[in-house]
Each structure stands twice: as C-alpha cells, then as structure tokens.
Amino acid sequence: MSLQVLKQWAINLVLALVTLGLVVACQGGESTVNQPTAVDCTEVEHAAGTTCVPETYERLVTLDGVTFEYAIAAGLSPIATAVGGLMEHMSEQVAQVKNVGQTGVPNLEEVLALKPDLIVGLDDNQGAYAQATQIAPTLLFHFEHSGQWKDSFQRTSAALGQADAAQQTMADYDARMADFKAQMGARLDNLQVSVVRIYPDTINLYLRDSFVGTVLQDAGLARPTAQDIGADEAKALFDNPIQTSISRELLGQADGDVIFLWTGENTPEAMATAQQKLETLQQDPLWQKLKAVQAGRVYTVPSYWIGSGPIAANAILDDLFKYLVEPS
C-alpha cells in the first residue's frame, strides 16, 4: 500500500470518527465537538449548498489564493491557505501562514490537524467539499472570471461577516482612483492603454471586462478598439470573456499610446519559454513599428496584472501612478 493511500485512509478514518461523534451526540449523548448552533451562526447560501457560519471564528483556512486575498483585504487573518500561481503580490502574507496544498487539491489531512473553525474557497474546490464540511463549516463561492472580482469580493466578505470592512476597502480604492484621475488631469483625454500577455505559444490581448480591464475603466483610461470589447461579446466572438489571441500579422491590435505587458506563468519552464517568445517578439519589425514601442512607452509589469482581488488592483494602481503620473 502506497504512502499516499495510507494518508488518504487515515484522513477518511478520522473524518468518519468525527461524524460518528456528531451522530452519537444528536442521539442524546453530550457532544465534545465544538459545532455552531442556530444561536451562534448564520445560514449562508453558496455554490455548494447552505452552511451555518459562526458569528465568531478565529481559525480560518482558505482553499485558494483568491479567497485568501479576499480574507486579507477584508481585515481577516487566515491561519492557512492552499496556494497556486500568481500570488507573488501576497508573498509576505503567504509566508506567515501554513501552506495546505495546491488550489483545487488542498491537503485535508493538514487542514484537519489545524483544527479550523471555518473553511472558505472557490467552487473549483468542489472535490474537497464533502470532506471539508466534516472538518469545519465550509463555504464555496462561484467565480466565473476575474472581471467579476468586485462583486465576488463583497459577496464573500459579507458571508464572512466582514461587509463593512470590505466596503471600506473599496472606498479606499475609489479614493485612490479619484486621486489618480486628478493627477492625470487632461492627460487622460484620448490616452489609449493596451494590455498584452505573452504566453509560451500565443500573444493575447486582455479585454475591457478582464480584471485589469476593470481597473483601467475605474482609472478613466481608454482602450484600443480591438480591446474595448465587453465580456458577453468576447464570449460570443472568442469563447473567452476576458482575452483573445492574435497572430503576428495582427500585432497592430496590440498597439496603443502605452502598452503594458507581462509573461506571468505558473511554472519556471513556462515562464522561461514565454520570456524567450517576448525577446523574439521585441526583434520583430512589426512590433518595432508600433507607436508605443517607438515612443518608448512599453512597460513590463508583474503577474498581479492578471489578479482578481483588491490587493492586486491596488498594485496595478501603483504601477499606473509610476508609469503614467510620474514617468521617468
């Protein structure tokens, strides 16, 4: 029997014993499991069902980087999280908590050992839901695409009892946006910002309702026509609500007064391949003809530009101040 099979057997055994204890308690015995009651929890509907969320909790575990960012931005302090790619902008926070596996495949044995009193994640953790609910009250939230980050953040925060804190986070974000617009002044007029991602095998444009697209909308920045496409239209045209691929011959669609681009990938190998593709692109005569390239206004940015939460949005705003308000 492999070590992995033994670990899974141990998890199942412990969870079964917890469940048995609850059943015995419900049949008249005195429960030793600290479960919330109708008096000290609030029922919340979510993507996987209905869960009674404790009014107070101290040992929150998140199952992915998105809900981890939401929790931090709403003023909470998770004790652990499953991790995935594109969390570099939260590396300091991640380093301070327990790592409990990868997004989509959390290590429930480690989660169980931490004795959480609440677990939260996105609905791509459905495979872990049945077992997670036997460890602690568990919430999973639907997340279609990153452009819906504001609604998703506020909905998740409200379920966690942090609606006011989330509202303040967004108010602070809006105030920073107002400051950005004031400092840009007339420079906002007719300034078109292009957003380009270099994959190992394609060149992609990020569209109006992508995560970064919503931040640029909030900043009052216009997009090139080929990128000024909403989610519904993009879904119909490209079968993707937030981005589309272009060929070398269509590089003109990547042009703008300013180009922000990145090569963010989840593995070192893919990152190296994408970086090599970028270096080849930069030598292409069609790329060198773009007006942003000729004006020296192409800026390589980190992977938080494809984030999905308030911390990443504020990091993008930092870059907008850096490159547009205070250009070197």
Distance CA(293)–CA(250), nearest Å, equals 15
Residue 304 confidence class, pLDDT cut points 50, 70, 90:
very high
pLDDT in tens, 82-107: 997 678 899 999 999 999 998 888 99
Distance CA(297)–CA(257), nearest Å, equals 7
Q: Which residue has the tokens 């998740």?
A: 156
Tokens found for residue 115: 């004795």
- Give this prediction's pTM: 0.86
pLDDT in tens, 162-177: 999 999 999 999 999 9
Tell me the percentage of the chain whose pLDDT exceeds 70: 87
The answer, yes or no, to whether residue 303 has pLDDT greater than 60, is yes
pLDDT in tens, 275-284: 899 999 999 9
Residue 29 confidence class, pLDDT cut points 50, 70, 90:
very low
pLDDT in tens, 210-255: 999 999 999 999 999 999 999 999 999 999 999 999 999 999 999 9
Distance CA(140)–CA(127), nearest Å, equals 11
* pLDDT score recorded for residue 39: 55
* pLDDT score recorded for residue 8: 55
Q: Which residue has the tokens 């460890």?
A: 135
Taking residues 19-30, report their average pLDDT: 38
Lowest-pLDDT choice from 32-36, 68-72, 96-100: 32-36
